[in-house]
Structures are given as C-alpha cells and as structure tokens.
A = this chain, B = another copy of it.
C-alpha cells in the first residue's frame, strides 16, 4: 500500500508522541519538531507508510540519543500479558472452538491498551474483544489451511501482543517460525521481546530483516523471503504488515484491526473492525 496525504499528518503525530516518551518539555519538543518538519520532504507517496516512517524514527532516535524509547513500554506490556497468559490458555481450553477462540485472543493482543491498566482490566478488555464481531472472518479457509500446514510462518507485530500470538501458535500446534523486526522500531517485537514472551519455546524465532514497522519484502533478508515463499501458510499480524504485504506475491492471512480512515478506505472495511482476511 502506498502512502496517502493523511499519512503525512500521522507521521507528524507519531513524531510528537515518540518525542513525548523522552521528554515532557513542550518547548524542547517543539524545537525538535521545527528541525524535523523540513525532513517531511523525504516522504514519498510511492512508498508504504511504514517505510516512510523510518526516517522519522531515526530522527527521533538521533535527537533523543535513544534508539529504543519504547523499551520500558514493551517490557511492561509483555509482563502484563504474561500475567494474563494462564487465563488465556484456560479460555481456549474451555472453548467449543479452541482455534477460533485463539484467533480472537491473537487479535485482542493487538487491540487492548496495556497502558495503565491492571491485569483484571486487561482481562475484561480481552473478554470484550472475544465477544466482538469480525468485519471479515475467513475462518473456514484458515482452519482448513492450518490443519493441512506442515510449516507456518507467523509475522509478529507488537511486544506484549506476542504473548497472545503464542496462545494461537500453541493452539495451531504446527511447526512455526515467528518473524520479528531486525531492530527496535516503535513497540514492534524484536527477537528479545519474542523470547521474553516465551515464543522461543513454541516457535523458531527469526528476524525478517525489516528495519521498518512492517514487512516490505524488498527490505527483508533473502533467507526471510525464501521462508515467506515456501511456508505452507503465512499469518501476518497488525496494520503495519497489512500496509507492507499488500500486493505480496503469495496469499497471506492478515489478522489486524482497522485503526485509521486511510486503511478503512484502502481495505473497504470499517474503521474499528477486526479482520482475519485471506488476501490472495
């Protein structure tokens, strides 16, 4: 998916939000933004939003001297999600359709706000998502392909969410490779975050090589591209993967929430909708 004009606003907004993780000195942030704005010229409407956001995250890393501003948030989210893990597993075990419940749990991990919430509030949020209707749910096809698959490639999204991904991977119970980002970018899961979520016990963890918050194949390693080509089944989590795997040269199960109007227009799905989409 290419970048739309509204994505310019979003990149500016994300720059402010990320700088705010480093400082609450508004005047200092304003000065960093003053120096950042001229860099917006580098954004190309031909590239995907995650690719265009890279220069912004690099700029913020440079002026804050911190390439991993989301580290404390990622660690806290993983810790909170791990506290929920036994209850998530019980929910799957008690379900009439454990695979569908695990799919719902995996999308819940993408949606819930780990922010200041306590575990019991997170659990309530998970229950809410478990009851939510999907805007699109290609479940029969998903179930069929999971049953047949000898090897699954699962492309992760955020840290914390990884614990919820683990529940789905355990429920599918097939040899799985879990792909993470090469280096810290936003709160996306890196190898370290995946291990913290216990994913190394249930999957082989590899870096896609992607330096951006998504998976543009041309920025991935040849090894990852080969894996992407040959896996029986590919599951990609989150909007960043939707944006960068749009038009990919193979079918992918996209599992995400439609978080903005741009994606709603591009996908034809309603904003706020949750989706398991077999994109062929």
A residues whose Cβ falls under 8 Å from a Cβ of B: 4-6, 8-9, 12-13, 16, 20, 26-27, 29-30, 33-34, 37-38, 40-41, 43, 45
Chain B residues with CB below 8 A from A30, complex form: 5, 8, 43, 45
Q: A9-B9, A26-B45 are in contact. List 15 more A-B contacts (CB 8 A).
A: A4-B26, A5-B16, A6-B13, A6-B16, A8-B12, A8-B16, A8-B30, A8-B33, A12-B12, A30-B43, A30-B45, A34-B41, A37-B37, A37-B40, A37-B41
Chain B residues with CB below 8 A from A20, complex form: 5
Q: Which residue of B lies closest to A44 (CB)?
A: B30
Q: What's the minimum C-beta distance from A31 to chain B, rounded to whole angstroms?
A: 9
Partner of A38, one of B13, B38, B43: B38
Name the residue in A4, A9, A20, A30 with the highest tally of chain B Cβ atoms < 10 Å from its Cβ: A9
Partner of A29, one of B5, B12, B33, B37: B5
Q: What's the minimum C-beta distance from A180 to chain B, rounded to whole angstroms?
A: 30
Q: What's the minimum C-beta distance from A123 to chain B, rounded to whole angstroms?
A: 26
> Is there an interface contact between A9 and B4, defined as CB atoms closer than 8 Å?
no
CA distance A33 to B8 in the complex (A): 9
Chain B residues with CB below 8 A from A12, complex form: 8-9, 12
CA distance A30 to B12 in the complex (A): 14
- 10 smallest A-B Cβ distances: which pairs? A37-B37, A34-B41, A9-B13, A37-B40, A38-B38, A5-B16, A9-B12, A12-B12, A30-B45, A9-B9
Show 27 residue pairs from A and B whose CB-CB distance is below 8 angstroms, ordered by the A residue: A4-B26, A5-B16, A5-B26, A5-B29, A5-B33, A6-B13, A6-B16, A8-B12, A8-B16, A8-B30, A8-B33, A9-B9, A9-B12, A9-B13, A9-B16, A12-B12, A26-B45, A27-B45, A30-B45, A33-B40, A34-B40, A34-B41, A37-B37, A37-B38, A37-B40, A37-B41, A38-B38
Q: What's the minimum C-beta distance from A43 to chain B, rounded to whole angstroms?
A: 8
Chain B residues with CB below 8 A from A38, complex form: 37-38
Q: What's the minimum C-beta distance from A206 to chain B, rounded to whole angstroms?
A: 36
Q: What's the minimum C-beta distance from A158 to chain B, rounded to whole angstroms?
A: 22
CA distance A201 to B33 in the complex (A): 49
Q: Which residue of B lies closest to A19 (CB)?
A: B5
Q: Which residue of B lies closest to A34 (CB)?
A: B41
Q: Which residue of B lies closest to A9 (CB)?
A: B13
Chain B residues with CB below 8 A from A33, complex form: 5, 8, 40
